[in-house]
Amino acid sequence: MTTDLTGTAATDAAPAVIPAPATPYQDDIARYWNNEARPVNLRLGDVDGLYHHHYGIGDVDHAALGDPAEAGYEAKLIAELHRLESAQAEVLLDHLGPVRGEDTLVDAGCGRGGSMVMAHQRFGCSVEGLTLSSTQADFANKRAAELGIAERVRARVCNMLAMPFETGHAAGSWNNESSMYVDLHDLFAEHSRVLAVGGRYVTITGCWNPRYGQPSKWVSQINAHFECNIHSRREYLRAMADNRLVPQAVIDLTPQTLPYWELRATSSLVTGIEEAFINSYKDGSFQYVLIAADRV
């Protein structure tokens, strides 16, 4: 599938039901993502039909990129950025532990659904995605229908602080760059409720570093850019501990995400936020972190 740059994709899947947002803030966030159509996201997704709204990790393959002066370099650059974003989702999935075909996983804040498709393709399981944006849910469901996996991969318009699942229903759940829109105690209480005892929760997130002191000006700039509220690393660990989520792995991915940002800053698809990410990662005020936790 390819998209035009408005992000519009006519859907033959059932339209997502649209409940009222829980707060005026959620209304703003729904509107933000309904209107989002940045080329940096759509052009990368068009590479192979996996549409992400998260960032990349891993070393840049300079041999694959070739010479910037050569014809076709920009297409190679887009493919490389996309490869690094998919590599990020693979690392998140690596930390879910064993998942069976009969299991259900929950993608809280699923965006256009790229990670959901990857999870289903890897484990053969069902994946339920939640987003505040009806445009994103429709997009993800259309993509799942095109792939013939709509019975196992479904996105819904729903607040992840009130998930439409029975207690203990999910074998695993995650937030991929979507936890900075909610209160962490509310979020982890809800993950803890829907996860089976022994289930696994994983997040990849940007968080401010308590060692820096307070959120830096770069962190404030990222918050303003995305209308989000980045939490500290300490807040994540405390809210997990308070909600029966026991960390099994806490991995600082900052050194692994910097090459993505430095490459992205050279592309024609820059959005203007690259400097804030690069400077805050370099001055130590901001970290890109994976936390995998057991529901006990």
Ligand X SMILES: CC(C)=CCC/C(C)=C/COP(=O)(O)OP(=O)(O)O
Ligand Y SMILES: C[S@@+](CC[C@H](N)C(=O)[O-])C[C@H]1O[C@@H](n2cnc3c(N)ncnc32)[C@H](O)[C@@H]1O
Q: Which residues bind ligand Y (CB under 6 A)?
A: 26, 29, 33, 52-54, 109-111, 114-115, 130-133, 136, 159-161, 176-178, 181-182
* Residue 171 main-chain phi, psi, to 5 deg: -80, -25
Q: Does 38 bind ligand X (CB under 6 A)?
A: yes
**Which residue has the CB atom at the shortest distance from ligand Y?**
111
Q: Does 228 bind ligand X (CB under 6 A)?
A: yes
Cα radius of gyration rounded to whole Å, the chain? 18
Nearer to ligand Y, 139 or 218 (CB): 139
Q: Does 251 bind ligand X (CB under 6 A)?
A: no
Pick the closest to residue 115 from 105, 258, 158, 196 (CA basis). Answer: 105
Instruction: In whole angstroms, give the CA distance from residue 176 to residue 22.
Output: 21
* Residue 22 main-chain phi, psi, to 5 deg: -70, -30
Instruction: In whole angstroms, give the CA distance from residue 127 to residue 119.
Output: 7
Instruction: Figure out which of the listed residues 96, 125, 230, 276 binds ligand X, where binding follows CB under 6 A.
Output: 230
Nearer to Mg ion, 11 or 267 (CB): 267
We find the least distance from the C-beta atom of residue 181 to ligand Y, in angstroms, to be 3
Question: Out of ligand Y, Mg ion, ligand X, none, which partner does residue 33 contact, by CB within 5 to 8 A per kind?
Answer: ligand Y
Instruction: Figure out which of the listed residues 29, 33, 41, 292 binds Mg ion, where binding follows CB under 5 A.
Output: 41
Nearer to ligand Y, 53 or 143 (CB): 53
Contacts of 198 (CB under 8 A, 6+ apart): 294, 295, 296
Q: Does 45 bind ligand X (CB under 6 A)?
A: no
Contacting range for Mg ion; rule: CB under 5 A; set: 33-41, 76-84, 246-254, 275-283: 33-41
Question: Out of ligand Y, Mg ion, ligand X, none, which partner does residue 206 contact, by CB within 5 to 8 A per kind?
Answer: ligand X
How, if at all, do strands 195-208 and 286-295 pair?
Answer: antiparallel
Nearer to ligand Y, 109 or 199 (CB): 109
8 Å CB contact between 115 and 204: no
We find the least distance from the C-beta atom of residue 54 to ligand Y, in angstroms, to be 4
Instruction: Figure out which of the listed residues 80, 128, 177, 190 binds ligand X, where binding follows CB under 6 A.
Output: 177
C-alpha distances in angstroms, 176 versus 96, 172, 179? 13, 13, 8
We find the least distance from the C-beta atom of residue 233 to ligand X, in angstroms, to be 13
Question: Out of Mg ion, ligand X, ligand Y, none, which partner does residue 136 contact, by CB within 5 to 8 A per kind?
Answer: ligand Y
Question: Out of ligand Y, ligand X, Mg ion, none, which partner does residue 131 contact, by CB within 5 to 8 A per kind?
Answer: ligand Y
Give the residues lining the site for ligand X (CB under 6 A). 38, 40-41, 53-54, 177, 180, 206, 222, 226, 228, 230, 271, 273
Give the residues lining the site for Mg ion (CB under 5 A). 41
